[in-house]
A = this chain, B = another copy of it.
Amino acid sequence: MNKIIDFLKVHHDRFEQELIDILKIPSISSDPEHAEDMHITAGLLKDEMQRIGMENARVMDTGGHPVVYSEWLHASGKPTLLIYGHYDVQPIDPLDLWSSPPFEPVIKGGKIFARGSADDKGQIYIHLKAIEAWLAVRDDLPVNVKLVFEGEEEVGSKHLENFIQKHSEMLTADYVVISDTPMFREGYPGISYGLRGLAYLQINLRGTATDLHSGSFGGLVKNPINALVEILAQMKDVDGRILIPGFYDDVLPITEVEHDKLNNLPFDASAFAKSIGAPALFGEAGYDDLERLWARPTFDVNGIWGGFQGEGAKTVIPAEAHAKVSMRLVADQDPDDISKKFIAYVDSLTPVSMQADIEALHGGFGYITDLNNPGLQAGVRALQKAFDREVDFLREGGSIPIVKVFADIVKAPVLLMGFGLPDQNAHAPNENFSLYNYHKGIESIVYFFEEIGKLKG
């Protein structure tokens, strides 16, 4: 192993330069004007995969922006890793808030500032450089590796599920590895073992055929906004507990081990509240802050509208009122089941004077990896060795729908080993990636291959 680690040291500067080179290409997947840049980036990745010794490297059609694939499958009897990442980046607006041009990478204070640095080019380069080091020094890998880098993550991975379905044979693996998340705090490696899911719906309430004058009709008719707020107010009790019947049926409880691990993470509620400009935090009674954020489901009204929204006073009883609502789910809640329960509950709360039309708009399963999973444990050992620090056990409050797709189709546990930082500005101006984390990340993956190689395939 020392020789591989030495290799990393020798090539330290080149690894940075190579990352800078790919960060210069504006691979904005949402902007048709950058279609050519998407192809240039995909081609550069394919060439790089070939150069470092990956095999069958190719740019594969998906119907949208292509997937870049390659493999190295000579570790017979050893586990196979499917490493997923994405080479597309977020748009750059508002450009005037950037301190330096988003596609002219600048190193400042140990960080590289550029669009895509943390999300996700820096993180896919960690894997490429770890593979390069192993193959350059040993001409061998202790695991089988398949790389799948897509170009549509920032636009909802529209074609990826089909691609995975279609190529499910090619993509068989024992573990899926994704490096696209931040660590919890600087200097401390983290591994994410859970994600929340989502059920997103829209309620449309209609009271009358047309808007009515509140003087001529007020008192005689039910106002759909009044009805809507009364319905939505019955979604949670004063303790923040969700009142939809059966909502918690499939929620996996937080184990004592998890509770202790989450509790070990430093979280300053009042500093956090201050950072977002909130007078105070609020969450479900009986749970700690990080449990509320990562391990408990939520109910939020994401949008509401109806009636008069202009300047001044218009005395209207509107014909309609609308709300968009979503529930963050946790394993093992099923978004379809939750949507059905929500619809039934809203129907039961809708007064006879009102017509309700409820549509499910979007959904995804939550995900959790067993803390005792051997792949996860291998990741923990590798991270600890590279960073020389205890590993933070994290969950994500958000959803990465593709994780559940991988888990279901590839039928392998998903390991989320991310090397970003909380202030990485992933979807904002001045996106940045810590170079310390970049190099420690490469070292971590070098050790991770070794650790995974000790497991059976």
- Residues in B with CB closer than 8 Å to A235 are 226
- Residues in B with CB closer than 8 Å to A221 are 276, 278, 281-283
Instruction: Say whether A304 contacts B229, CB under 8 Å.
Output: yes
Instruction: Say whether B328 contacts A281, CB under 8 Å.
Output: no
Instruction: Say whether B303 contacts A213, CB under 8 Å.
Output: no
Instruction: Say whether B219 contacts A296, CB under 8 Å.
Output: yes
Measured between alpha carbons, how far is A222 from B59 in the docked complex, in Å? 46
The answer to whether A168 has its CB under 8 Å from any CB of chain B is no
Instruction: Say whether B226 contacts A232, CB under 8 Å.
Output: yes
0/1 interface trace, chain A 292-334, chain B, CB 8 Å (1 if under): 1110111111111111110011111111011110101000000
The answer to whether A440 has its CB under 8 Å from any CB of chain B is no
Instruction: Say whether A301 contacts B225, CB under 8 Å.
Output: yes
Question: What size tier do the contact residues of chain A reach?
Answer: 35 or more
**In this complex, which of A208, A278, A326 has the most chain B Cβ atoms within 10 angstroms of its Cβ?**
A278
0/1 interface trace, chain A 202-220, chain B, CB 8 Å (1 if under): 0000011110111111111
Q: Knowing A216-B397, A277-B209, A353-B280 are in contact, say whether A301-B229 is a contact too (CB < 8 A).
A: yes
Instruction: Say whether B209 contacts A276, CB under 8 Å.
Output: yes
Look across to chain B and name the residue whose beta carbon is closest to the beta carbon of A223: B300
Instruction: Say whether A307 contacts B304, CB under 8 Å.
Output: yes
In whole Å, how far is A58's beta carbon from the nearest beta carbon of chain B? Answer: 33
Instruction: Say whether B293 contacts A218, CB under 8 Å.
Output: yes
The answer to whether A284 has its CB under 8 Å from any CB of chain B is yes
Instruction: Say whether B222 contacts A282, CB under 8 Å.
Output: yes
In whole Å, how far is A343's beta carbon from the nearest beta carbon of chain B? Answer: 16
In whole Å, how far is A330's beta carbon from the nearest beta carbon of chain B? Answer: 10
Q: When the two chains form the complex, which single residue of B230, B352, B361 contacts A233, counting CB atoms closer than 8 Å? A: B230
Q: Knowing A209-B277, A216-B398, A220-B292 are in contact, say whether A307-B302 is a contact too (CB < 8 A).
A: yes
Instruction: Say whether A328 contacts B214, CB under 8 Å.
Output: yes
Look across to chain B and name the residue whose beta carbon is closest to the beta carbon of A317: B300
Look across to chain B and name the residue whose beta carbon is closest to the beta carbon of A297: B219
Look across to chain B and name the residue whose beta carbon is closest to the beta carbon of A212: B276
In whole Å, how far is A351's beta carbon from the nearest beta carbon of chain B? Answer: 7
Instruction: Say whether B328 contacts A283, CB under 8 Å.
Output: no
